[in-house]
Amino acid sequence: MTPDSGIAVGTRPTVQAPAPELAGWAGAATAVHAIQQMPMPMTLRLHVADHGVAHIDFAYNAFEWEHPLDAFPVTPASVLVETCTAEPDAPAFELPGRTLDPLLWSIGFHAFGDEPAPWLVEGHRYHLRRWPSLSGIEIDLDQVRMIAMLGNAFATADELAAAAHTPPSDARRLVNALSVAGMLRRSTAAPALDAAPASAHSVAPSTGLFARLRERWGH
Amino acid sequence: MEHIILFAGPMGAGKTTAIQSLSDIPVISTEAANTDRATADKATTTVALDYGEIHVSDEERIRMYGIPGQRRFDFMWRILRDRAEGMVLLIHNDGPDPVDAMREFMIEFADLCERGGVAVGITRMDVAPGPILTHYTDVLERDRPDLMVPVMPVDPRDRGNMEMLMMCLIANIEMRAAYSAVPA
């Protein structure tokens, strides 16, 4: 399958399988998620309509793309996906490249709209594995607070939204973004996130140093 | 009300510049000739400390202390870390053994990291080949799985970068305090 033949999620040479029915960034997000489950290192080329090719090398947590992320195309006409097996000790492009987190975040945030990514299971609670690198990401401080919550407790997207006083769709997009970036671990047994923890005063969005500094800096 | 945040890291990591980017007052810097040009090729280095302030309101300030990058001033670390609520750790990616340098500071300030919080800014990532971000985060995950440490590339000259790192640090400190009793 070639890049101009439709969305191709698979390895080269040609994979004779029906192309997934996923449009825009959804196909790319699904491919990224699939690659993260694979034991062998992979690279990915994303042919973004009118925006060139983004080349991802997961082994080096890096990507190369001429397009700036601060003008990330939210709804491209098409994103064609090519996957390749990475050569050992041979980066796919000249390193250091660009740090991958912001690209995966952007893909995950926009891939599924306000709906959860299809691999996320309702009722499962998620916890941050590590903080994403936020440099270069269009991110607001409500999202920073939710990331910090997930860094310190397990939560479903709905519990996260309730604790952070944000719309559920915002929390779902954030969980999608973190999941595509490979930064979440899940639990089926963790207790529910307490929307009013012991130090609820510091968690409320309008109180605490975070809120005051946010106001001071005008974010 | 006042809060104390330390800015730590090896000599040449950008601590003085980072405080200058954030401070609402002219930064008080105590610099002197650098006699250790082999470690960092800069003419001056922080001997005692740097000091800057963020005025959150008329009654509330964040006092930022940049502490010496040279181990011979270790005594300053001990005095300040007992009073601090958190730490911004800056590591320059083109320095000698930067991942190891991060580990050293995390060990040195383990009590502060546990009591308050730490955020790591990797500087000079774009100037020369060096460790990639996951080299740092993998070490943190392995050494301190109990801590959730924000790690991100930053340019200490960029106020926006430094504001984001500071907000991540404070969010993490507040959420950790709020949810620390919840089993993870």
Residue B126 has what pLDDT? 81
User: pTM for this structure?
Assistant: 0.84
Of A151, A135, A144, whose CA–CA distance to A208 is shortest?
A144
The answer, yes or no, to whether residue B135 has pLDDT greater than 60, is: yes
Mapped onto helix, strand or coil, the DSSP state of residue B54 is strand
Residue B42 has what pLDDT? 63
Query: Least CB-CB distance to A209: which of B163, B164, B174?
Result: B174
Residue A18 has what pLDDT? 42
The answer, yes or no, to whether residue A13 has pLDDT greater than 50, is: no
Quote the CA–CA distance of B135 and A72 in Å, as a whole number: 27
- DSSP string computed for B123-161: ESTTTS----HHHHHHHHHHH-TT----EEE--TT-HHH
Cα–Cα–Cα angle for B93, B42, B52, rounded to 5 degrees: 80
Residue B179 has what pLDDT? 83
CA-nearest residue to B139 within chain A is A130
Cα–Cα–Cα angle for B42, B46, B51, rounded to 5 degrees: 135
Of B70, B49, B61, whose CA–CA distance to B22 is shortest?
B61
Residue B57 has what pLDDT? 93
Give the best residue of B55, B170, B176 to mutate against chain A (max A CB count within 10 A).
B170
Lowest mean pLDDT among A9-23, A42-56, B4-18: A9-23
Sheet holding A53-57, edge to edge: A79-85, A42-48, A53-57, A62-64, A98-99
CA-nearest residue to B144 within chain A is A130
Span B11-38, pLDDT tens digits: 889 999 999 999 999 999 876 656 665 6
Residue A218 has what pLDDT? 84
Span A144-182, pLDDT tens digits: 999 999 999 999 999 999 999 999 999 999 999 999 999
Query: Which residues, in sequence order, are CB contacts of A198 under 8 Å at separation 6+?
Result: B178, B181
Residue A10 has what pLDDT? 38
Percent of chain B with pLDDT over 70: 83
User: Which residues in B lie closer than 8 A to residue A209 (C-beta atoms)?
Assistant: 3, 56, 60, 62, 170, 174
Of A185, A161, A179, A193, whose CA–CA distance to A26 is shortest?
A179
Rounded to the nearest integer, the mean pLDDT of chain A is: 83
Residue B130 has what pLDDT? 85
User: Which residues in B lie closer than 8 A to residue A132 (C-beta atoms)?
Assistant: 152
- At residue B85 the predicted structure's pLDDT band, cuts being 50, 70 and 90, is very high
ipTM field: 0.84
Residue A61 has what pLDDT? 87
Under 8 Å between Cβ of B121 and A49: no
